[in-house]
Structure 1
């Protein structure tokens, strides 16, 4: 939805009615993940995509129908479904599409404004047939909620579930209450941060890989001759400061990854002492096994516990036999993905079962 926000705010400002179709569920080799959206204005203008082309035409017609009938619609397309096959979903997957017509409600406007401001936000909608009136609820990270489903009990349940999903950045369908009420919660959070310490050639390669993976990448080094925009054109930020001092003021949460590539004790020790006590989901440090052993000894002397030290991924990266900066960047990037998604790091050919775990 983030890529549609400018168009939708413009349509809303012009008073144009429009419907939004969202992917709410997928299984198998479906082309898009939950949250992918297509919007259609009442004059037929369309923006976005829900399937990369497979069922776009059918979903477009659903949007127009939803606008005409002024009610939400829920439809499933799949390979085994004659209609799904007819419209081109031959990849073997199944997608469930929710179309929502009442996009003038305050909750949806609040959601769009939060997206435009790049703020974390969740939008919750009750799925048909239980939805009745197409109402929704928007929840911001601050806890501020806009909208109601007309029942304080349902509002509390939805708000609690949406808050948990927003905290972990999960988009999908959940059941709330004891009546099997199904809701779709679409969450948005700014890109995760990758903090790269050490302005060396390995850092330049990792910066490129991190940006490719969708991270907001910062490179930090205390040496101004090395920490330059010219050397790191792919970084979103290049900071000249002592690494531990920068980390003390940098925003860090569970989605943040920290890569320490300096392998110099005067930088590493004070930096890792702080990094391992943050909420960062990944902390890795470059160096040989001898360097790691010596670094661990110094960190213990600095007061870190074994539990805190166990969070350190050192030597950094997966064992790919990497040697060049680009190869090392791939090994670190692979470890980042595996950590974030819960991967086993085993070759897929040696495993069985679903390739994509449902909860990742």
Structure 2
């Protein structure tokens, strides 16, 4: 979400100056690449950029060529990081030996399709609800056309009529699965490729405890673009001045009058008040919630004592499969900053379905692969797409 905020700020700055800008979006990746489909970079008329689409190897070339590429409308270009021997006609070759190819869509941000994207990103930032976005990424007169599916089922934008029904199915699938994929629609001997993205809301972190060790955790989480809430029952800790980077700081009393459960749904939770009474209360709330991750600071035997007391009172403590204690990855540091890094590392691993181990021990690809779905579109535009033909990954 930090990238979304920065992109929108850059777009607003360009608009205030009455200038235009080009948006470069990664729409397909083959082999090894630093960024995944959906990564975006804004290029101003003066060549200034916001965002990244690679590890730094493509940005200057993209910024240099963005304007002339889009003089007549959206453009699609490929960039290869394979060896120098690769045929230059296939892609702009950098010969970095990374054996990857990145396909990038260039478009002027003030075009109708660009405005559909910006409306979706602004709405996402405002209400925190995910959306699905379809972008036509085949070299054709319709290149760059978009359709946005909102949480209420409303659609914005326009795609070719023959794709309306099958793409709407793909958009619904993206909302349910919360994933991005490439869809290839075959009709009458031709193929159209559509990137269907899940525009994800900011990850949310709720910290119970306003001590000094919560301060670097808030700062680091905000660097990642997370939405951060700090809660403490002690008024002298629950102060905005202690956490200027937090989205909200709440003075939550240890009574039924204060219900944190709505804040915890789908969030990562860190219980770190350094108070047995507070920890017991907030940990019980977290375990009863729909939080994705619950971490308890402190020694193992301390947390197990809290759990035994809960079990004695309630006969069972729910949500234990989501509880991590002692909180954080085993990195070995003991400063508040190193502890915060360990906590955020473990939370990120859980959000991403990873184990948090060293990459040198990973036998599969560093990045999760995105699926490619193949469809056969009926000749009659009013009919639905035939069932999925096959699925691959790229």
Q: TM-score higher than 0.5 here?
A: yes
Q: Structure 1 residues 214, 7: closer, same or farther in 2, change over 3 A?
A: closer
Residue of 194, 219, 235 corresponding to 2:246: 235
* Cross-structure match for 2:263: 251
User: What is the alpha-carbon distance in structure 1 between the residues aligned to residue 175 and residue 165 of structure 2?
Assistant: 15
Q: Structure 1 residues 18, 260: closer, same or farther in 2, change over 3 A?
A: closer
User: Shift in Å at residue 220 of structure 1?
Assistant: 1.1
User: Shift in Å at residue 185 of structure 1?
Assistant: 2.9
Query: Is the 8 Å Cα contact of residues 183 and 196 (structure 2) preserved in structure 1?
Result: no
Residue of 27, 34, 37 corresponding to 1:24: 27
Q: Structure 1 residues 229, 354: closer, same or farther in 2, change over 3 A?
A: same
1:295-342: CA deviation from partner (whole Å, max 9, x where unpaired):
223333454756622221122222334433333223212211211222
Q: Larger RCO: Structure 1 or Structure 2 (Cα < 8 Å, ≥ 6 residues apart)?
A: 2
* Cross-structure match for 2:101: 94
User: What is the alpha-carbon distance in structure 2 between the residues aligned to residue 347 and residue 278 of structure 1?
Assistant: 31
Q: Structure 1 residues 311, 148: closer, same or farther in 2, change over 3 A?
A: same
* Cross-structure match for 2:182: 174
Residue of 137, 147, 155 corresponding to 2:157: 147
User: What is the alpha-carbon distance in structure 1 between the residues aligned to residue 120 and residue 221 of structure 2?
Assistant: 25
Stretch moving more, 207-216 or 173-182: 173-182
User: What is the alpha-carbon distance in structure 2 between the residues aligned to residue 236 and residue 102 of structure 1?
Assistant: 29
Structure 1 unaligned spans of 5+: none
User: What is the alpha-carbon distance in structure 1 between the residues aligned to residue 41 and residue 206 of structure 2?
Assistant: 34
User: Shift in Å at residue 222 of structure 1?
Assistant: 0.8
* Cross-structure match for 1:109: 115
Residue of 319, 331, 334 corresponding to 2:330: 319
Query: Is the 8 Å Cα contact of residues 303 and 325 (structure 2) preserved in structure 1?
Result: yes
Structure 2 unaligned spans of 5+: 372-394
User: Shift in Å at residue 128 of structure 1?
Assistant: 0.7
Residue of 109, 132, 146 corresponding to 1:136: 146
* Cross-structure match for 1:290: 301
User: Shift in Å at residue 260 of structure 1?
Assistant: 0.6
| TM-score, length of structure 2 as denominator length | 0.73
* Cross-structure match for 1:188: 199
Query: Is the 8 Å Cα contact of residues 54 and 89 (structure 1) preserved in structure 2?
Result: no
Q: CA RMSD in A?
A: 3.8
Query: Is the 8 Å Cα contact of residues 105 and 144 (structure 2) preserved in structure 1?
Result: no
1:138-165: CA deviation from partner (whole Å, max 9, x where unpaired):
122332211232337x334323433443
Residue of 54, 61, 65 corresponding to 1:61: 65
User: What is the alpha-carbon distance in structure 2 between the residues aligned to residue 242 and residue 91 of structure 1?
Assistant: 58
* Cross-structure match for 2:134: 124
* Cross-structure match for 2:341: 330
Query: Is the 8 Å Cα contact of residues 220 and 243 (structure 1) preserved in structure 2?
Result: no
- Residue 239 of structure 2 aligns to a residue in which SS? coil
Task: Give the length in aligned residue pairs.
Answer: 354
Query: Is the 8 Å Cα contact of residues 58 and 87 (structure 1) preserved in structure 2?
Result: no
* Cross-structure match for 2:210: 199
User: Shift in Å at residue 58 of structure 1?
Assistant: 5.2
User: Shift in Å at residue 210 of structure 1?
Assistant: 2.2
Asked whether 1:158 is paired with 2:164, we answer: no
Q: Structure 1 residues 191, 292: closer, same or farther in 2, change over 3 A?
A: same
- Residue 137 of structure 1 aligns to a residue in which SS? strand
